[in-house]
A and B are shown apart, each in its own frame.
Chain A
Amino acid sequence: QSVLTQPPSVSGAPGQRVTISCTGSSSNIGAGYDVHWYQQLPGTAPKLLIYVNSNRPSGVPDRFSGSKSGTSASLAITGLQAEDEADYYCQSYDSSLSGYVFGTGTKVTVL
């Protein structure tokens, strides 16, 4: 049950900047729950990319950045590289559902 909405796809040329939105509601992001982002390379398991809205785990390039405002969050990739082609998911907690929720997912294509 995806209650967080993301664009199905975004694309950009190498070196460009792309952003992925994650839109929630007053029972999840708007209620103050933090947002995390995961990267899923083709055929592999998801990997944590950003935690608590804007923090990068060690090993994640600083090309990736996150932000949160109101009922939405965003992931930005600057200096897009071919290796960034993957699916990206946001995740938060929903008080109405009493459970964790994921975004619908966004496929990033490097042109």
Chain B
Amino acid sequence: AQSVTQLDSHVSVSEGTPVLLRCNYSSSYSPSLFWYVQHPNKGLQLLLKYTSAATLVKGINGFEAEFKKSETSFHLTKPSAHMSDAAEYFCVVRYYNQGGKLIFGQGTELSVKP
């Protein structure tokens, strides 16, 4: 079955330190990959997306992700965490044979300590 797995349900970092949120996808077909962020009581906001162009994708707020086909991974990173980054992050995959259907990972809650 086509799926996406976020390897950590919760990640805690100190402000100013790097962030790494891990994501693996099943590799049935070449997918499009997205990272979305959800702040408490808010909708989902797109951080970045991979659509078979450059493998290193830069997004908003200093986030970036690298598509690694050999590892079927799409990890999200940020060099220096800010308090405002505290939120839930979703890795999302979309396969060409499934139209508009997005498949969501279970989410990673990011906490940022002062």
Whether chain B is bound by chain A comes out as no
